[in-house]
A and B are shown apart, each in its own frame.
Chain A
Amino acid sequence: MTSGRSTGAVIAALAMMFALTACGRAEEDGVGSASSVASQAPEVDTGAASGEITVWAMGAEGENLQVLADAFMADNPDVTVEVTPVPFDAAHDRIVSAIAGGEGPDVTQIGTTWMGEFAKLGGFDPTPSNIDPSLFFEGAWDTTVVDGTSYSVPWYVETRLVYYRTDLAEEGGVTEPPATWDQLKALAEGIQGAGAEFGISLQPGGTGSWQTYMPFFWQAGGEIMDAEGNFTLDGEPCVAALTYYDSFFEDGLTAPAAGDVPIEGQFANGDVGSFISGPWMIGIVTDAGADPATWTVAHQPTEEAGTSFVGGSNLGVLADSDNKEAAWAFIEYLSQPDVQVTWYETVKDLPSVQSAWDDEALSGDPLLTAFGDQLTDAKAPPAIATWEEVAAEIDAVIEQVTVGDLSPEDGCAAMQEAASGIGAG
């Protein structure tokens, strides 16, 4: 009932209480050059790394990273790596506090959509040239680049594929993976015809639904921003994508409201025949009791493109770190293909380094290979400081179109207007 949070602004603003005399911003730099090659800092001599570094990591990564840190210390006896696990919910705010206070770790894991904000804060060291961008998936590397400069290194990636029940699809007369929008629709209809309550499960708005919607927008030829840094969320691609997305709701092919039964159970027992999600669902669906012979994953459908969403985490060195040599040496180590494979085997995080995918552990698994294929055609939202706020507006419009009665045309205009009002920060 009581809210300490709304007064949180009070505390945050404490810093600016004294001497508000010399206010006024310095001139803003122009929004980033459109050059395709991101600039990097000069090489850092990581060979002679020594001393102590602290590393923040979240969730399962935080609990298990010490395994790799120990291996790194065995190779580099002069360096001590201390891993501090941070809960994912608290991580964003803690990193902001660390940057503001100048008291933080040397290396931290960073959610890909936070990059724009942190870079704008001046909190991260530009990536040195010893890291070769061409080793990583392009979509993943793009998440490190803010205004033409790279500030971190992709650590692991995830992308979204279509999970579907092959047995129900065959019963409904669909034998091939869906290659186009029409075929994905036909797949959902076929599965529903074969007795599933819903042919597909799409998010009816709510936090993060933009991650399911945005691939359709990209597939219709849309781009979130143009080269000058202006939002281009409306127009023909948006109307096409939102109309297509909404059609699953109009035709009753997906649940009209967020349900309270987890998707994996419904998928395993055949109530829901397909959904779009990331690689973590492989394990969850299997644990829910789905027979591996009855389901598979498929590449996103292709219209003008077959693009999916790429997420994951990056690793960055804080600008205030006093041991950048050791910090970058550790990141360099974590980016080695064989270490990336070890990391996959430890916590099932998909490697961001392309050559790691040649290893038998990944290339021998057809489900993973499908994710690897999709990663070569996957995009992330632009690394801007206000992305989370823009994303929340997109989520809200998706809900108004699917659950409410807003038309896709008006929805696209609303997205564009809201995003332009927020700006790129």
Chain B
Amino acid sequence: MAWSFALPFLLLFLVFMAVPIATALVTSFTDLRVTDIRNPLSVNFVGLENYLAVLGDARFQKAAANTAVFVLVGVPLTMALGLAVAVGLNQQIVRFRTFFRVGFYLPVVTSIVAIAVVWRLLLGTEVGLINGTLASFGIDGPGWLSDERYALWSIIAMAAWRNLGFLMVIFLAGLQTISGDLYEAAEMDGANPWQRFKGITLPLMRPTLLFGAVITGIGYVQVFEEVYVMTEGGPLNSTLSLALYAYDQFSFGNYGYTAAIAFILFLAIALLTTIQFRLFRTAT
């Protein structure tokens, strides 16, 4: 009886998740290419060759380094901004609260293509709003997206702006579970706002922060759309991400190689999530 209730999920999971994942795992140990797809069984098993080739590829190393910077800077930045906005909007005195909430959440539900168009107008070298403003002060602005020193940071800024709205909503929900009595008691004891934030808000928000860190971390390790529409990984691979690297290899038809990248990416996500759980583990 119990199994019949579980069956619809199990079937869908098997057909659309387990089987493809297992297939990809097998593929990652073969030399399957696009030219084999009429006859996919006639490929050779190559053992760990794909994995070794991926790890030894300079472009993969560059993509891994870029992705690491993106995650290590982007996740704390997005969380800090999301928390700041949530705490701000949680004050009783804020007017137009709904207006601000919608404003911060809007980027989350907006198509990345529309966002890319707007940010290109902002960050453009010759006709960008930022450089135009700088120029009126006599400053010659850099190529925010066309200079390899700035491109990754521009993308991180855009990603943080785009995703902070999601964390804001989660954090707002978390903040509202904290009883007002605690703050009142702390205030009576003479705790200033920073002490109240550090002593009450942060510890009680720990599970919510963990959730935010894990969700954002998983998303950021797989960062794709932002770089795909803004820079296509350039200039000089300075914004090439692991997912974009995998996408490029897939479009070249190197399916076995791409599957190996996908599994390395999967391991990276598992590792990152484990570390996050350790970091946020409730102190006992």
Contacts and interface: CB of A to CB of B under 8 A. Distances in A.
Given A14-B23, A24-B44, A385-B35, A5 B125 contact: no
Interface string A390-405: 0010001001100110
B219 A386 contact: no
Interface string A1-13: 1110111111111
A1 B43 contact: no
B35 A10 contact: no
Contact of A99 (B38, B41, B222): B38
A385 B20 contact: no
A204 B267 CA distance: 36
Interface in B146-192: 146-148, 159, 162-163
Given A25-B42, A100-B38, A1 B250 contact: no
A171 interface: no
A288 to B, nearest CB: 16
A320 to B, nearest CB: 10
A16 B253 contact: no
A3 B219 CA distance: 8
B106 to A, nearest CB: 16
A120 B255 CA distance: 16
Given A1-B219, A5-B247, A19 B20 contact: no
Contact of A2 (B38, B40, B219): B219
Interface in B217-265: 219-220, 222-226, 232, 234-237, 242-243, 246-248, 250-255, 258-259, 261-262, 265
Kindly state the interface size class of chain B when it binds its partner.
35 or more
A291 interface: no
B26 interface: yes
A23 interface: yes
A422 to B, nearest CB: 8
Contact of A13 (B24, B44, B254): B24
B248 A5 contact: no
Contacts of A260: 120, 124-128, 146
A399 B235 contact: yes
Given A2-B222, A25-B43, A10 B236 contact: no
A25 B247 contact: no
B250 A6 contact: yes
A117 interface: yes
A205 B234 contact: yes
A392 B38 CA distance: 25
Contacts of A23: 30, 41-45
Contacts of B30: 23
Contact of A12 (B43, B225, B242, B255): B255
B243 A3 contact: yes
Contact of B26 (A17, A26, A389, A403): A17
B216 to A, nearest CB: 9
A22 B43 CA distance: 9
Nearest to A8: B250
Contacts of B26: 13, 16-17, 20
Given A10-B24, A261-B126, A1 B226 contact: yes
B125 A400 contact: no
B19 interface: yes
A26 B35 contact: no
Contacts of A258: 146, 234-235
A364 interface: no
Given A13-B23, A403-B235, A404-B236, A6 B224 contact: yes
A396 B237 contact: yes
A399 B234 contact: yes
- Counting chain B CB atoms within 10 Å of each CB, the highest count among A6, A257, A388 belongs to A6
Contact of B42 (A9, A14, A24, A259): A24
B220 A1 contact: yes
A356 B275 CA distance: 68
Contact of A10 (B23, B147, B162): B23
12 contacts: A5-B246, A6-B250, A6-B265, A10-B259, A14-B20, A16-B41, A25-B44, A96-B34, A100-B37, A260-B146, A385-B34, A400-B236
Which 9 interchain pairs have the tightest Cβ spacing?
A: A16-B40, A3-B224, A257-B146, A389-B252, A13-B27, A10-B20, A6-B246, A10-B24, A1-B219
Interface of B: 19-24, 26-27, 30, 32-35, 37-38, 40-45, 120, 124-128, 143, 146-148, 159, 162-163, 219-220, 222-226, 232, 234-237, 242-243, 246-248, 250-255, 258-259, 261-262, 265
